[in-house]
Structure 1
C-alpha cells in the first residue's frame, strides 16, 4: 500500500471516530484566533492586501469569499487571500515540534472548498481539525531540528499543500481514490524554499503559506473534476519525501505519521506575540530581565543560541537594523532590543515606524551572539545574559505551549480593537457559539473593494 493510501486511510479513521470534545474545543479556539488576526491584518499588514491585489489581477468575480471583504474570487484565489491575511502579521498558531502554522492553511482551504460546491462532506470544525492533525503529524514524523534537509524548507508551506488538499477534499466529498489523486496533484505544485526567511530585505515571508492553501484547493478541485495522479507521489522513486527531504520515510516515521490514537494538534500553540515563534522565548527572557535593570545600566546583552536560532541572528548587522517589518519580526536581536525598550510587544507598537526608532537601534549595538545550545526538536530556549554596571544576570526561558481560553479571547478582542471593529465581545460570543461555513457572512466588512 502506498503512503498516500495509508494517509487517506488514517484520515478516514479519524473522521469516523470524530473529534473529542477537547480537540473540538481547541479547534474552535484556533479558528477564532485566526479570524481575529485576519481582521487585524487589514490595518496592520498592508503586504497582505497588496498580495491579494496581485494574485487577483485580471480576475473578476468568483465563488470564494474573503474574510473581512466584499471581494469574491475563484476558490483557490480566495484561499490564498485568506491565508495571506491570517499569516502576514506573524501572529498565527504554531506547532513547535512540527514547526508548522496549521490553521491559516486549513481554515482558508475549508472555506474555499465550501464555497466551491453546493454539498459539503463534513462540518467546518471537523475539516479544519483533520487537516491540522495531518499537518502536525507530517512535522512530528520528520522531527525537524533546523539542520539538514528540513532546514531548507518552510514546512508550513511544503506540507501545507498536502494538508490543504485533504481538508478541501473532505469538504468537496471526494472518495478515497480522489483524495489520493488530490495528494498527487498537490505534490506537483509543492514548494517552500526558506530563503525568503533566511535572507533579509524582503516582504515575501509574510505570505508564503498562502501558496500552499491555494495549491491544495486547486489540487482537490482538479481531483473532483476527474484528474488522476499516481498513488506513489509521496513515496515513489521520485516522490515527495525523496525529492524534498532526501529519503523516503522510515518505519519509525510511518508509525508517527499514521498514529490515530493521539492528537499531535493538541500541542499546537496560539501566539501571544506578533513575531516569529523562535523569538518568543528570548522576548520572554528580555521582559523578565528588564525588571531587574535600568536601561542605562545595561552594558551588554549576550544572546545564547543554537544553529536554528542563529539563522535569525545573522547577518547580525542586517538583523539589528531591519528594513522591513517582516525582517524585524524574524530577527531575535531586534526583538530582544525592542522588548527591553518597550517592555511589551503587541500590534500597536511593533509597526513599520518602530524600524526607525533610534532607541531600539542604539540598543542593538549592545547585543552579542554566542552559541550555547545544541539543536533539538522544538523551539530553542530563551537564553539571555545581561551584563550591567551592578552585576550580571542570566535568564534561560522555556516557551510555554499552553494558552488559556481567556488569553485567546483577550487576544481576539485586542485584534478586533486594533482593526477598529466594534463590539468585539459580542463578535466573540456570536462566532464562537456557532462556527460554520457561513462565518464570513457574519464578519464586518473592512475592505469594500471588489
Structure 2
C-alpha cells in the first residue's frame, strides 16, 4: 500500500507544533517576520495594485478581528490575509531562498498573522507556525524542482499556499486529519499560471500571493467546520505532485526527509535591494566595480549567469526600458544601470520619473546577458559574472557567487531593523514607534498575545478603507 504522505506530514506537523523548535529556526522566523511586516507596510503606499485589495475586503470589516497592515482596518482572517498577501511581494523586497523557486514567507506570514489575531494565539505559537510553514514551503519547492515551471506553472505561490495551510492549521488547532482536509480545499482554489512571466504590464507579478494566502485561510476555515477533503491531496494519483509536477508518489516522499530535524528557515536570504533576487549578484558586482571605474568610461556591460535568469534580460529591448516598477525590478539592464549610476537601489528607484531618466536608460542600453550552462545548478542560480568593457579596450571582471543578504553573506538583525524602519516610514497609517514595533516582532516568541502586539501598534480598528486608500494613493 502506498505511503499516506499527506497524513504523515500532518501528523509530524502537529507533533512538531507542540514541541520546542531549534533556536536557529525560531531566530530565522523572527527575522523573516520583521522583514515581511516592514515590506508590507511600505507596499501600502508604494506598490501599484495593492489598494484595491484593501477596498475589496472592506465589506467584511464589521465583525473582523484581523488587521490589514498599514491601514488600521480590521476584517476577517481570510480578507486580511488576502490584502496583506497582495502587499507581501508587491515591492519585490521580501525574503527568498537562493537557488529555490520560493519566497517562503510571502504566503506564510500573512496567513499566520491573520489567523493568530483571529484565534488570539501566543507569539510562541505564531513563530513556530511561521518556522514550520516556511520549511514546508521550501520542501515542496525543492521536491518539485523545475518541474512546476516546465509544466506551465509559476512555483512560488503554489508551494507557499501549501506551507501556509499547514502553518494556519496549526494556529487554528486542527488535528492531523483536518490538516489534510485543509490542504485539499486550498489546492481546490489555487492556480498560478506561468503566463505571469510573459505579461510585463500585468499587476499579477506583484500581487500574486494574495490568492495563495486567501486560499490557505479559507482551506483552514472549511476544514475546521468539518468539511471532508481528499485522502491524499499531495501524493494521490491526481494529487498535487502528480498533477502539477508530474512526480510519482515514491519520488514525493523526499518531502519528509529530515522533517522536524533540519529547517530551511536559516537558509533564507533577505534582500538588501528591492528587486528580484536574480538581479542581486550583478547589482552587488556593479556597486563594487563603480568604486574603481568611472561610469562614463564603460563601453558595454556583459552579464553571464544561470539560464533561469534569462527572464530578467528578455525581451532585451523591453528590459532595457521597463515601463512599470515591477518589470523594472525584474530587469537586469535597469537594476545594473541603477547600481552603476546611483550607487544604490532603494524604494525610490522605481518611480515613473526614475524609469524615464535618460542617464539610466543610456547605461541600460549597454547591458547584455548570456547564459552560462555551468551555473544551471541550484547552488549557482543566484550567482553571476559581470564584465565591464572600457573605452580604452580594458575589461574589468567580477564574479559574485553569494550576493549580499544570503546565508553566507547575511543581513543581521541590526541591518534588518534599519530596513524595517525605512519601510515603515511609507506605511499608509503612520507607525508611532517603529523601533518598538521592530523589537516586539523580533521578540514575538516571548509575547503572550499576537493580538495585543498588533493592537498596540496598529490600533484604530474601525478606520475606513476609503480613508486608508486615500493615503495609499
Q: TM-score, normalised by structure 2?
A: 0.88
* Contact 2:81/2:210 (8 A) holds in 1: yes
Native 8 Å contact 2:102 2:156 kept in 1: yes
Aligned to 1:125: 127
Q: Give runs of ≥4 in structure 1 deviating > 6 Å.
A: 118-122
> Any conservation in 2 of the 1:283–1:335 contact (CA below 8 Å)?
yes
**2:417 aligned to 392, 402, 409, which one?**
409
Cα distance in 1 for residues equivalent to 2:421 and 2:72: 22
Whether 1:443 aligns to 2:461 is no
Deviations 1:26-79 (A, max 9, x none): 2111111111111112232142123332x4275453423211222222221110
Residue number in structure 1 paired with 2:312: 312
Aligned pair count reads 446
- Does residue 237 of structure 2 align to residue 237 of structure 1? yes
Displacement after TM superposition at 1:121 (Å) = 11
Structure 1 stretches of 5 or more lacking a match? none
* CA apart distance, 1:333: 1.6
Of 121-130 and 175-184, the range deviating more from structure 2? 121-130
For residue 256 of structure 1, report the CA deviation from its aligned partner. Answer: 4.5
Decide whether the 8 Å contact of 1:202 with 1:326 is kept in 2.
Answer: no
Equivalent in 383, 398, 403 of residue 395 of structure 1: 398
Q: Provide the secondary structure at the position in 1 that maps to 2:111.
A: helix
Contact between 2:300 and 2:366, CA under 8 Å: does it hold in 1?
Answer: yes
CA pair 404-308 structure 1, distance change in 2 beyond 3 A? same
Q: CA RMSD in A?
A: 2.4
The Cα of 1:226 is off from its aligned counterpart by 0.8
**Residues 359-404 of structure 1 deviation map (CA, whole Å, 9 limit, x = unaligned):** 1111122122222244211533221111002311111111241221
1:408-448 Cα shifts (integer Å, max 9, x gaps): 12211222234464543333234433454223213246994
Residue 377 of structure 2 is matched in structure 1 by: 376
1:283 offset after TM fit, Å?
0.7
Q: 1:380 to 1:97 in 2, by over 3 A?
A: closer
| 8 A contact 2:303–2:387 mirrored in 1 | yes
Q: Where in structure 2 are the equivalents of 1:148-297 lying within 5 Å?
A: 148-149=150-151, 152-251=152-251, 253-260=252-259, 261-297=261-297
Distance change >3 Å, CA 30–CA 52, structure 1 → 2: same
Q: Match of 1:232, SS?
A: coil
TM-score of the superposed pair, with normalisation by structure 1: 0.92
- Corresponding residue for residue 471 of structure 2: none
Matched ranges for 1:94-109 at <5 A: 94-109=96-111
Other structure's SS at 2:300 match: strand
Rate the CA distance shift 1:112–1:354 in 2: closer, same or farther, 3 A: same
Q: Secondary structure at the match of 1:103?
A: helix
Farther-moved stretch of structure 1 (19-28 vs 266-275): 19-28
Query: Which residue pairs with 1:38 in the alignment?
Result: 40
Alpha-carbon spacing, 1:147–1:104, altered in 2? closer, same or farther (3 Å): closer
Q: Is 1:67 the counterpart of 2:69 in the alignment?
A: yes
Residue 233 of structure 1 aligns to a residue whose secondary structure is coil
Work out which of the residue numbers 29, 32, 54 in structure 1 matches 2:31. Answer: 29
C-alpha separation in 2, matches of 1:246 and 1:145: 7
Distance 1:336 1:327 in 2: 14
1:433 and 2:443 correspond: yes
Query: CA, structure 1 residues 36+277, in 2 after alignment: closer, same or farther (shift >3 Å)?
Result: same
Q: CA deviation at 1:124?
A: 1.1
* Residue 343 (structure 1) shift: 0.8
Q: Give yes or no for contact 2:313–2:319 (8 Å, CA) kept in 1.
A: yes
